[in-house]
Amino acid sequence: MNRVIKVLKLGASSGRRGAGRGRALVAGGAGFLGSHLCERLLGDGYEVIALDNFHTGKRYNLTGIAGDASFTCIKHDVVDALPGDFAVDEIYNLACPASPPHYQADPIHTFKTSVLGSINLLDLARRHGAKIFQASTSEVYGDPLVHPQPEGYFGNVNTHGPRSCYDEGKRSAETLFFDYSRTYGIDVRVARIFNTYGPRMQPDDGRVVSNFIVQALRGEDITVYGSGTQTRSFCFVEDLIEGFMRLMNAPVAPQHPVNLGNPVEFTIMELAELVVDYTNSRSRIVHRPLPVDDPRQRKPDISFARQHLGWEPKVALSEGLAHTTAYFDALLGGRRSVGSRSAARSSVHVAVGS
């Protein structure tokens, strides 16, 4: 796949602007979330332009839509000036590595992506009067002292730790988005994303769900950092993308970030045991030292999203793990058959809202 998947006709002369739902630009469009978002937008009738530098995004994530006449992908880093003045109706900024091994590999570039990338996309939105969406993160809450975390909580953060390039970059991006909104009247939508999983995660991305599934499928030790009593909440990717769309399509832009995530909380040990059970794995669960600044608790308060967007996750962890495990099993070459030894029990144990 070359720099451009297919030729893009820039500007309003493309003949598609105004047709269907309009034209959407997705920065980070080849990534885990970005590729799912591109598919959803195409399905909803948008013309879609994806930008990605392919540092962490993968070309194969776009295989299913690369031939769509309404889809274009351009290889580009949003840190640099945009490669054209795109006439767009909506912009989604998902351009930033989101897993610790990836964003820590080049922390300065990670921070630039959040700050300079946001400025470039906000200026584009300003020129064309486009709505613009920022994929922020629950990491802005740091290691929270308030649980669950509401949007009004300002966090317990470290500005100079090994994770700060990502955490503080995203906090800075939120500042830029709301300052552009107040200064220039731009319609901005900011989502704080909590742990999300599903097909198209990378097997080496260092996130807990992908780590555990890949280790289990390979029969390797499952690595739990710390005691495993720290908690996370896990949202399936389709639910999250639905939240994106509802936030972007809300008739009134919220004047603050909005939490999007699953409020059902699990310990890391519970997740490890569930993955071992589901995959029929003989893997042992082993413990390693907890990384610096790893949060002890993570659970969103989604009251605002429920009340104002009519949104909450629908997919139980058992169902989402089935889809995700099947994806990794195929990606790894079908190294073992998977299926829960106690699917009925698991389904009850992890049902959303339990």
pLDDT at 352: 24
Same structural domain, 77 and 106: yes
Three-class DSSP category at 22: strand
Q: Cβ of 85: how many Cβ atoms within 10 Å?
A: 11
Those residues whose C-beta lies under 8 Å from the C-beta of residue 70, and which sit 6 or more positions away, are: 16, 20, 42, 46, 47, 48
Domain count, the chain: 2
Whether 6 maps to a domain, the answer reads: no
Three-class DSSP category at 161: coil
Residue 200 region, left (φ>0) first, then alpha (ψ -120 to 50), else beta?
left
Percent of the chain with pLDDT over 70: 89
Query: CA dihedral in degrees (217, 221, 223, 226; nearest 10)?
Result: 150
Whether 306 maps to a domain, the answer reads: no
Q: Give the confidence band of 155 by pLDDT, cuts at 50, 70, 90.
A: very high
Whether 1 maps to a domain, the answer reads: no
Whether 62 maps to a domain, the answer reads: yes
Same structural domain, 26 and 54: yes
pLDDT at 278: 87
pLDDT at 294: 75
Tokens of 326: 């099947």
Same structural domain, 49 and 127: yes
Better pLDDT: 270 or 7: 270
Domain carrying residue 188: 12-197+236-260
Selection from 118, 211, 234 nearest residue 169 by Cα: 118
The answer on pLDDT for 336 being more than 80 is: no
pLDDT at 250: 98
Cα 161 to the chain's mean position, in Å? 22
Residue 265: C-alpha distances to residues 115, 194, 227, 340 (Å): 31, 11, 16, 21
Selection from 315, 128, 340, 136 nearest residue 233 by Cα: 315
Q: Give the confidence band of 5 by pLDDT, cuts at 50, 70, 90.
A: very low
Q: Give the confidence band of 22 by pLDDT, cuts at 50, 70, 90.
A: very high
- Distance in angstroms (rounded) separating the CA atoms of residues 70 and 21: 11
Whether 7 maps to a domain, the answer reads: no
Those residues whose C-beta lies under 8 Å from the C-beta of residue 350, and which sit 6 or more positions away, are: 264, 266, 274, 316, 317, 318
**pLDDT tens digits, one per residue of 33-89:** 999 999 999 999 999 999 999 999 999 999 999 999 999 999 999 999 999 999 999
Tokens of 272: 């490890």
Region 172-181: what's the mean pLDDT? 98
Tokens of 168: 């503080």
CB 230 within 8 A of CB 272: no
Same structural domain, 256 and 285: no
- Distance in angstroms (rounded) separating the CA atoms of residues 278 and 36: 25
Same structural domain, 36 and 114: yes
**pLDDT tens digits, one per residue of 88-99:** 999 999 999 998
The answer on pLDDT for 338 being more than 60 is: no
Same structural domain, 191 and 292: no
**pLDDT tens digits, one per residue of 203-235:** 998 899 999 999 999 999 999 999 999 999 999
CB 202 within 8 A of CB 58: yes
Same structural domain, 324 and 178: no
pLDDT at 290: 85
Q: Which of 84-88, 278-282, 313-317, 340-344 is predicted least confidently? A: 340-344
Q: Give the confidence band of 347 by pLDDT, cuts at 50, 70, 90.
A: very low
Q: Give the confidence band of 335 by pLDDT, cuts at 50, 70, 90.
A: low
**Taking all residues of the chain, what is their mean pLDDT, rounded to a whole number?**
89
Same structural domain, 143 and 217: no
Percent of the chain with pLDDT over 90: 82
pLDDT at 276: 94
Same structural domain, 220 and 147: no
**Active site members:** 166
- Distance in angstroms (rounded) separating the CA atoms of residues 118 and 164: 17
Better pLDDT: 21 or 332: 332
Q: Give the confidence band of 117 by pLDDT, cuts at 50, 70, 90.
A: very high
Same structural domain, 53 and 20: yes
In the block, residue with structure tokens 């091994």:
101
The answer on pLDDT for 199 being more than 60 is: yes
Whether 202 maps to a domain, the answer reads: no
Selection from 135, 147, 95 nearest residue 301 by Cα: 147
Whether 304 maps to a domain, the answer reads: no
pTM score of the predicted model: 0.89
- Distance in angstroms (rounded) separating the CA atoms of residues 37 and 316: 20
Whether 305 maps to a domain, the answer reads: no
Same structural domain, 89 and 164: yes
Residue 299: C-alpha distances to residues 93, 99, 192, 234, 256 (Å): 23, 18, 12, 9, 18
Same structural domain, 97 and 177: yes
- Write the CATH number for 18: 3.40.50.720
- Write the CATH number for 339: 3.90.25.10
Alpha helices per DSSP H over 87-223: 100-105, 107-128, 164-184, 208-218
Q: 3-state SS string over 207-266?
A: CHHHHHHHHHHHCCCEEEECCCCCEEECEEHHHHHHHHHHHHHCCCCCCCCEEECCCCEE
